[in-house]
Amino acid sequence: MKIRTLVIALALMTMLPGVARADEGMWLLSLIGKNYDDMQRAGFQLTPEDIYSVNQSCLKDAIVGLGNAGRPFWHFCTGEIISNQGLVSTNHHCGFGKLQEHSTVEHDYLRDGFWAYTKEQELPNPGLTASILVRMEDVTARVMENLSDDMSEGDREAAIKKVCAAIEKEAVEGTQYAAQVKPMFSGNQFFLFVHIIYRDVRLVGAPPSSMGKFGGDTDNWSWPRHTCDFSMFRIYTAPDGSPADYSKDNVPLVPKHHLPVSAGEINDGDFAMVMGFPGTTDRFITTYGLEETMDINNKLVYELRTVRINILREEMGADQAVRIKYDSKYASCSNYWKMANEQNKALQALNTMQVKRDVEKEYSDWARFQRSPKYSNALGLIKDGYAARRSVREAQLYINEGLIGGSEVLSLAIRINKMMESNPEMDLSTQDKMFNSFFKDYDEKVEKRVAAAMFEYVYAHMDPDLCPDFLKKANKKYKGDWTKYVDELYKASIFANQENLGKYMLKPNAKQLEKDPMLLAAKEVQDIAKQLREAVSQQSKDNLKRGIRDFTDGILQVNEGRRLVAPDANSTIRLTYGNVMSYDPKDGVSYKYYTTMKGVLEKEDPENSEFIVPARLKELYAKKDFGAYANRRGEMPTCFITNNDITGGNSGSPVINANGVLIGLAFDGNSDAMSGDIDFEENLQRCICLDSRYMLWVIDVYAGAKNLIEEIDIVR
């Protein structure tokens, strides 16, 4: 290389921002040794082998990915094993759906909490799985030897699928394990993950929602926080220790490792690491992708879900039975609703678009010196790919969020239609389990209100050329009276309520089914969804994939030898490290690193369901009955913050100190840095954590679950 070229290239390498920063990184466990010096400087006292080892017990053996039987490698939350009897702690909002499923008006576990004081009282949860990593391996070389740059994207994907299937089969042959090869860095690297997946996971305990969801939507994504966000489960196995479906003969898991739980002090600056299964990040996104995220994805999700959320709030506040049925649905809807809005605010406030523009300019300068169209063409392919799908993406969100997500009956009809398409001879009378599950958490009055509002909103805002005909016809026939239209629609459909369905089941009629208005609407929505998927040419889709892959590859090369870069989160186990840390979000505002129970009482508002404080908590606080869990100032700690890099899926992840002891549970990020999934902001990014002392106090003093306290190794 000529001297001038070398100097410019080195200068660019030192200038490129935004990809890897001081505290950023969701690191793969098997490669954590490369970060070891940084971890030690942050205060870490253990060895890399204490985190990840195939041959000895280590921290990874205590980390649990919570999923479901249908998608065993997708982890909606993380948990950690905290006893030698398979006891698992995770967030309250991670266990919320199971609490809801077990709740009735007579036994309202959402309102009152739930505690099993014996193992016989623990509640089974069919379909819930707990996954633990056995080992991982870099298989990039084996995959790449089957690929070439001149392959079409279709041929490339087929080759990857074939070789990955072979790798996965070899990895688990003759074992009780499950394996999956996951792409990293947009398909520039590949890693094999081997897990053992347990299928008998039982509910053990949770505080009432007034504590577990304290602060509700108001406090969500914000600090200071006082939410007691935990629930507890237990993993069971067959008597020989192998994974098994639920059986009364199953026994508690004897884990390879479990985490001791701290009742000791937490100080500003203490080392903290988070291990878990983060869902998705998009740190390599370009300005073109960011524009789609902000102007279409986040904007429309927030607007559409606002319509649904406002109705659900009103209906749930007026009726306990409705609240029980819809609490979990509401929580799922509202979490991303607020996140989408807060992320857009943070992205604008932090000028993330300009950060990405700077990255692209400097990447382009670097790419010119590579003399390879692979890198010089990447951004052009990405730009054209996003432009080609813009209107399609917008329409897809109206269909998915506004129609499918806006009407549970329409969603049910789509599901049934898909089943009928795959099996034309299907007998609906054999689907009792599906229908019973659906109607258990269904209220027709609420459903009709939501559907009418969502149909009206979609019709008014969606591109008329892409809007479904059934909405156009309804608006014309009923002269904009969407409530009347929905009343007639639900009256005529066999899927609208159990009474209609029951009458049909007594006398099935194929012609009646074919003419069912909800099923006809479902078919039309499916057809439009298919048309939208096909509206963008395969060549455009392939070019976008190739452009993103080549751009990411270029970013990795620019950083090679300069700093480590972590792959985007993709629901595989990761570790992040940092410190407990206060912060100053804006001029004149300073946040300390912890909160106490005093703040719970200060926020109390008996007229606001988000800030109700249980009478027992107030009684115990008045007596200062904090057991052995007060801090050195005599306060009852509730939450704390660290600068760990986290995202969705990390909910419930253990926050572990320098010596491998559990000090808290990660449960949220802060709105000041909601841009973090796209661009990590090291000065503002905070991980909001439940203090382990608050969890222990609730189990011990508040709930009196001495049976659980006795099996936890408490470090004081």
Q: 90 near 231, Cβ under 8 Å? A: yes
Question: Can you give the pLDDT at residue 348?
Answer: 96
| Residue 430, C-beta contacts closer than 8 angstroms, at least 6 positions apart | none
Phi, psi of 179 (to 5 degrees): -135, 150
Q: For residues 178 and 165, what is the distance between their CA atoms, to the nearest angstrom?
A: 12
Cα separation, 161 vs 165, whole angstroms: 6
Residue with more model confidence, 177 or 6:
177
Can you spell out the DSSP letters for 231-290?
A: EEEEEEE-TTS------TT-EE---S----EE-S---TT-EEEEEE------TT--HHHH
Average pLDDT score over residue span 333-355 = 94
For residue 168, is it within any domain?
Answer: no
Catalytic pick from 30, 186, 231, 651? Answer: 651
Q: What are phi and psi of 390, to 5 degrees?
A: -55, -55
pLDDT at residue 471 greater than cutoff 50: yes
Lowest mean pLDDT among 68-82, 403-417, 554-568: 554-568
pLDDT band at 573 (very low <50, low <70, confident <90, very high): very high
* Angstrom distance (rounded) from CA 657 to CA 274: 9
Q: What percentage of the chain has pLDDT greater than the value 90? A: 88
Instruction: Say how many CA atoms lie within 13 Å of 26 toward its Cβ.
Output: 29
Residue 684 has pLDDT above 80, yes or no: yes
> If pLDDT is split at 50, 70 and 90, which confidence band does 226 have?
very high
Count of beta carbons in the 10 Å neighbourhood of residue 496 = 25
**Does residue 391 fall inside a structural domain?**
yes
- In this model, does residue 449 exceed pLDDT 90? yes
Confidence at residue 632, expressed as pLDDT on a 0 to 100 scale: 96
Q: Are 262 and 628 in contact (CB under 8 A)?
A: no
Residue 343 has which token pair? 């992320």
Of 396 and 72, the one with more pLDDT: 396
Question: Are 461 and 422 a contacting pair, CB within 8 Å?
Answer: no
Query: Is residue 554 within 8 Å of 12, Cβ to Cβ?
Result: no
Locate 237 and state its tokens: 């196995």
> Taking the model in full, what pTM does it have?
0.92
**How far is it, in rounded angstroms, from Cα 541 to Cα 153?**
9
pLDDT at 277 over 90: yes
Q: Is position 651 annotated as part of the catalytic site? A: yes
- Any domain includes 22: no
- At residue 171, does pLDDT exceed 50? yes
Q: Closest Cα partner for 567 from 28, 16, 170? A: 28
Residue 530 scores a pLDDT above 70: yes
In the prediction, which pLDDT does 12 show? 39
Radius of gyration (Cα) for the chain, nearest Å? 26
Residue bearing tokens 């392959």: 151
Which residues contact residue 248 at a Cβ distance below 8 angstroms, ignoring those fewer than 6 apart?
none
- The answer to whether the CB of 241 falls within 8 A of the CB of 256 is no
What is the Cα–Cα distance from 162 to 143, expressed in whole angstroms?
A: 9
The whole-number average pLDDT for the span 351-380 is: 94
Question: In this model, does residue 140 exceed pLDDT 70?
Answer: yes
Residue 1 has pLDDT above 70, yes or no: no
Rounded mean pLDDT of 252-272?
98
Residue with tokens 């109700």: 612
Mean pLDDT score, 490-517: 90
Task: Please tell me the distance from the alpha carbon of residue 669 to that of residue 576, in angstroms, as a whole number.
Answer: 14
* Mean pLDDT confidence for 450-467: 96
3-state helix, strand, coil in the chain (%, to 5): 50, 15, 35
Task: Report, as an integer, the average pLDDT of 460-489.
Answer: 96
What is the tally of structural domains in the chain? 1
Q: What is the mean pLDDT of residues 533-556?
A: 96
Confidence class of residue 15 from pLDDT cuts 50, 70 and 90? very low
Cα–Cα distance, 693 to 713 (Å, whole number): 13
Asked, for residue 471, whether it belongs to a domain, the answer is yes
**Which residue's entry shows tokens 């985190």?**
51
End-to-end CA distance of the chain: 60
DSSP of 504-555: HHHS--HHHHHT-HHHHHHHHHHHHHHHHHHHS-HHHHHHHHHHHHHHHHHH
Domain that holds residue 399: 287-536
Average pLDDT over every residue of 694-702:
98
Residue with more model confidence, 7 or 56? 56
Q: Cα(208)–Cα(108) distance, rounded to whole angstroms?
A: 9
Of the residues 229, 443, 553, 679, which is catalytic? Answer: 229
- Tell me what the pLDDT averaged over the chain comes to: 94
Q: Lowest mean pLDDT: which of 260-269, 617-626, 629-638, 678-687? A: 678-687
Residue 10 above 80 pLDDT? Answer: no
Question: Residue 712 has what pLDDT?
Answer: 98
Which listed residue (92, 93, 226, 258) is catalytic? Answer: 93
pLDDT band at residue 23, thresholds of 50, 70 and 90? low
The conformation of residue 335, written as its DSSP 8-state character, comes to H
Instruction: Confirm whether 309 is domain-assigned.
Output: yes
Establish whether 229 is a catalytic residue. yes
